C-alpha cells in the first residue's frame, strides 16, 4: 500500500525567505506525484505534478519540486515566498494505472511580513 509522509505540520517563514516543504512516499511500484494547495476557505488546486521525464518540475507561481527516486522524496521549494503563499500544501501519490490519490497530512505554510 502507498503512503505519504509530510513531517512538518506547520512551517512559519518570513516574506521573501526561501522555504522547503518536505514530502516522502512509500510505494513498491511506479507512481505519479502531486502537490496540491488549499488557500483559506477554498478547495484544492493542483500546484504541480511529476509524471515522468525531468525530475524537476515547476509551477507558474515560482514553486518547484524535485522527484528523488532513491530517497523516495518529492520536496516542494520556493526561493522567495510571498504573503499570498500562505496556505496548506498537500503532497499526494498515485500508482500508475490507477486513479486513487493518497494524500499526506498536509503542511500549513505561514508567511509573515
C-alpha to C-alpha distances, 48 to 31, 37, 107, 113, nearest whole angstrom: 15, 9, 16, 26
DSSP summary character for residue 55: S
Query: Does residue 60 interact with another protein by CB under 8 A?
Result: no
Site for another protein contains 32 (CB under 8 A): yes
Nearer to another protein by Cβ, of 15 and 24: the residue is: 24
Are 35 and 76 a contacting pair, CB within 8 Å? yes
Single residue of 11, 13, 44, 110 touching another protein by CB under 8 A: 44
Report the residue from 9, 55, 61, 68 that binds another protein according to the rule CB under 8 A: 9
User: Assign residue 16 a region: left if phi > 0, alpha if psi is -120 to 50, beta otherwise?
Assistant: left
| Smallest distance, another protein to C-beta of residue 41, A | 8
- Cβ(51)–Cβ(67) under 8 Å? no
Stretch that binds another protein, among 54-62, 64-72, 75-83, 99-107 (CB under 8 A): 99-107
**Identity of the residue, 19 or 104, whose beta carbon is nearer to another protein in the bound complex:** 104
Under rule CB under 8 A, residue 61 binds another protein: no
The answer to whether 10 contacts another protein (rule: CB under 8 A) is no
Give the DSSP letter of residue 2.
-
Amino acid at each position: 500500500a502507498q503512503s505519504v509522509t509530510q513531517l512538518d505540520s506547520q512551517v512559519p517563514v518570513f516574506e521573501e525567505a526561501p522555504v522547503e516543504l518536505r514530502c516522502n512516499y512509500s510505494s513498491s511500484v511506479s507512481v505519479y506525484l502531486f502537490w496540491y494547495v488549499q488557500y483559506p476557505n477554498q478547495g484544492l488546486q493542483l500546484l504541480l505534478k511529476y509524471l515522468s521525464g525531468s525530475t524537476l518540475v515547476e509551477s507558474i507561481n515560482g514553486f518547484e519540486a524535485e522527484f528523488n527516486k532513491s530517497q523516495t522524496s518529492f520536496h516542494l521549494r520556493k526561493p522567495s515566498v510571498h504573503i499570498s503563499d500562505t496556505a496548506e500544501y498537500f503532497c499526494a501519490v498515485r500508482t500508475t494505472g490507477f486513479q486513487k490519490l493518497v494524500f499526506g497530512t498536509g503542511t500549513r505554510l505561514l508567511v509573515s511580513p
